[in-house]
Structure 1
Amino acid sequence: MRIVHVANFYGPSSGGIKTTLHELGRGYLKYGHEFIYIVPGPRYIKEQTPFGLKITLPSFTLPASGGYQIIRSNKQLLNLLEFLNPDRIEVSDRFTLLKVGRWAKQHKVASLVFSHETLNGLVKKYAPLIPVSFRNRFVNWHNRKLAASFDTVIATTEFAAAEFVRIKTTNLRKVALGVDLQGFKPENRDHKLRKELLKGAEYLLVHCGRMSPEKEPARSVQAVSELVKAGVNVRLIIVGGGPLWNKIRKQSLGLPIEMLGYVASREKVAGYLAAADIAIAPGPLETFCLSALESLASGTPVVASKSSAVGEILNINSIRPAGAVASDNGADFAIAIKQLLNKGRLRKVAREQAEKFSWANTVDAMLDVHGAKQPMITTKRRLKVA
């Protein structure tokens, strides 16, 4: 089976979408399928990768996005799809790639779209003055249009699915994403690195994610400020770059905060996550939050926004959750962090929770959506790289 995945917002510093593409590709290839992923880039390029054939199409960069790119020509994209003749199409962009779903229906190719974002949350965040009734009508209209354009809508959590459940979407499927349980593990904790990062502090906190408005990185800075006022001897390291980097750096002045910028090495990121006592995931719009799951896999409990899907991942309503949730303000985050620190070690709980989310499970669920359960269909045709 030839599976083609089209994704915008993919790039050198993109996190969750890039990881998802690579892990899906790796899994599909393992079962004998052919995987081709089409992403934005500087020009037309084809290259074989360990995750399948990667094709980049000329793109433009979204202003003030920190480098996010979008494929420039849908016409070129659709011509390429016609040439590739896929058996299945996957899309990671609920906003600019609706034409791909319509093309797939016209050509009788099964298609699915990942709803990686909460449209209701984005509209509320970036257009807060719009009346609630109008916002709900707009969100419902767009989500109906999205669901009608593709055969299947994939939501990664109940939180992500909620706005589709509200309009009684009949082609909705829930597929949880996974985490690299070998690359991120408690054994990565390096006590020498931890000591270097602490710089004499008692507790080490980590924030790993893009410095962009929807991620609310300032919340982590505010939480540290509140903890310092309360006499808690903490130090925060921030891993990630983005359009708010300079603003966050200025807000961090005078506080025990170190900004490391974007870190390309997954091994280094894994080391930072394992070294910390608590990871902070303040984004209120997260529909999954891969960095939070990577923290859990590293044995590090998470404090997350009560407004996001991360509480589901933490199993927050269980007897012993793998972290805590807080209201969307620095003071409440500081209280949750302090309470979690007082609870003692939760490294085993965090790791056990992460182990429920493997990429093998994700790939198996996706192949079920594609109607390709084991035994898998061996690919009979390959696209040669020019």
Structure 2
Amino acid sequence: MRIAQLANFVGPASGGMRTALRALGAGYVEAGCRRLLVVPGPEDARTSGPLGDVVQLRAPRVGGGYRLIVEPWRVIEVLEEWQPTSVELSDKSTLLPVARWARRSGVGSVLLSHERLDDMLALRTGLGATSKVSAGLLNRLLVRSVDTVVVTSAYAGEEFAAVAAAAGCPVVRVPLGVDLDTFRPHRRARVDGLRLVHAGRLSREKSPHLAVATAVELHRRGVPMCLDVYGVGPHLDELVELAGDAPVRFRGYVDSPARLSRALAHADVALSVCPGETFGLAVLEALASGTPVVTAERGGARELVDEASGGWGAPEAGALADAVLEVAARPVARRRAAARTRAERYPWSATVGSLLDVHSSVAMPSSRSRARRVASSSAATAATTSDPITIAR
């Protein structure tokens, strides 16, 4: 197979997307596929390496250091030259013409939905009803443009359920993975008080304000604690003001996964509390480092945490503070072992294998029809993760 991955809206803080692209690309190449990655950047550039070919297309900044490809025909020119058997899109707006080109050209198309539009827009704008209407209209267009939609959680798939069924577009659930060698338990230094950690982009749609508010609530109750926040983003000043005199330390961006794992491992509890998260790579990275996670009671991140590896509560500071204290009261060795065990259910190898099944299902010679299809049930059950792939027709 020749798989082209198309990434858009990429910036210095888009760590989760970069991690996923790198892990999937490495898996595709290891499986014997040719792999092309198309990304936005400050100038046009082409390189080749162990993980395949990379084409960087000149793209403008759109805020927060992010760049966005706004000329989809330039992507199409690259694809026509490279001749993929399938394309994997992670963009739901500006690259839609690429999906239509794929349909005309006999190339399979897979939409890897890494965010839930209705909740993301609501978190950014505060306009819940308007956001749901806007997202619904775009999703109806998306399911009519691609061959298969891949979601990373049951929660993420909810927004596609009705529109995909009406369009006859398969929706396949494939959980993402974690690097279990890099993210691992480390020896912890003995410290007084409760140590909390939050890792993620400091922008409203990731709910860092809720994590800081939880720490502030614990401090108000007189709990000896500190919260280390790792990440950068446009709302740092707001978070500093929100923290006030509570012991919250903003550590900035960590560019080394191994260093981040050590930081996560040194905490008693990790906070990953966004109720609109469609998956939560940060949750898996904390669990793999042996740190239990407290999350919101709804969202994709909640699906990653069980009663042994963490806790959850309503997305407000008081309920989450209660969950933190409950998790922290468990025996240390038991909660840390449970966290690691939970993460081991999600190796990247399972994700890669499942996505290769999806790409095989949409790739076919251009001489045949472009009827929508998904992998056979035998391929669907081949995933090694204990969370099964579900297919909605």
- TM-score using structure 1 length: 0.88
Q: Is 1:237–1:258's contact at 8 Å kept on the other side of the alignment?
A: yes
User: Which residue does 1:349 correspond to in 2?
Assistant: 338
Out of 66, 73, 76, the position equivalent to 2:74 is 76
Question: How far apart, CA to CA, are the structure 1 residues paired with 2:162 and 2:305?
Answer: 24
User: Which residue does 1:376 correspond to in 2?
Assistant: none
Q: Does 1:361 align with 2:324?
A: no
How far 1:220 sits from its partner (Å)?
1.6
User: Which residue does 1:272 correspond to in 2?
Assistant: 263
> What does the per-residue CA deviation read over 1:292-323, in whole Å, with 9 as the maximum and x for residues that have no partner?
110011111101122321111113xxxx3311
How far 1:99 sits from its partner (Å)?
1.1
User: Which residue does 2:174 correspond to in 1?
Assistant: 175
User: Which residue does 2:311 correspond to in 1?
Assistant: 324
Distance change in 2, residues 1:40/1:135 (3 Å) = closer
Q: Is 2:152–2:176's contact at 8 Å kept on the other side of the alignment?
A: yes
Q: What is the CA RMSD across the aligned residues, in angstroms? A: 2.0
Q: Is 2:12–2:66's contact at 8 Å kept on the other side of the alignment?
A: no
Q: State the number of aligned residues.
A: 359
Distance change in 2, residues 1:136/1:210 (3 Å) = closer
**Identity percentage of aligned residues:** 36
The amino acid across from 2:107 in the alignment is: V
Q: Does 1:138 align with 2:127?
A: no
How far 1:168 sits from its partner (Å)?
4.5
Residue 293 of structure 1: SS of its match in structure 2? helix
Question: How far apart, CA to CA, are the structure 2 residues paired with 1:363 and 1:242?
Answer: 30
- TM-score using structure 2 length: 0.87
Question: How far apart, CA to CA, are the structure 2 residues paired with 1:41 and 1:292?
Answer: 29
How far 1:95 sits from its partner (Å)?
2.3
Q: Is 2:143–2:163's contact at 8 Å kept on the other side of the alignment?
A: no
Q: Is 2:277–2:301's contact at 8 Å kept on the other side of the alignment?
A: yes
Unpaired segments of 5 or more residues in structure 1? 374-386
Greater Cα shift, 247-256 or 94-103: 247-256
Question: How far apart, CA to CA, are the structure 2 residues paired with 1:217 and 1:181?
Answer: 25
How far 1:290 sits from its partner (Å)?
0.3
Greater Cα shift, 69-78 or 161-170: 161-170
User: Which residue does 1:377 correspond to in 2?
Assistant: none
How far 1:129 sits from its partner (Å)?
4.2
Question: How far apart, CA to CA, are the structure 1 residues paired with 2:280 and 2:9?
Answer: 16
The amino acid across from 1:171 in the alignment is: P
User: Which residue does 1:151 correspond to in 2?
Assistant: 147
Question: How far apart, CA to CA, are the structure 2 residues paired with 1:293 and 1:360?
Answer: 15
How far 1:225 sits from its partner (Å)?
1.3
User: Which residue does 1:2 correspond to in 2?
Assistant: 2
Q: Is 1:62–1:68's contact at 8 Å kept on the other side of the alignment?
A: yes
> What does the per-residue CA deviation read over 1:61-116, in whole Å, with 9 as the maximum and x for residues that have no partner?
223xx222111321211111111111110011122211111110011100101111
Question: How far apart, CA to CA, are the structure 2 residues paired with 1:165 and 1:70?
Answer: 28
> What does the per-residue CA deviation read over 1:169-209, in whole Å, with 9 as the maximum and x for residues that have no partner?
331111111000000011xx243xx45xx5xx422110000
Residue 349 of structure 2: SS of its match in structure 1? helix
The amino acid across from 2:261 in the alignment is: A
How far 1:256 sits from its partner (Å)?
1.0
Question: How far apart, CA to CA, are the structure 2 residues paired with 1:138 and 1:241?
Answer: 29
User: Which residue does 1:243 correspond to in 2?
Assistant: 234
Q: Does 1:93 align with 2:91?
A: yes
Residue 300 of structure 1: SS of its match in structure 2? coil
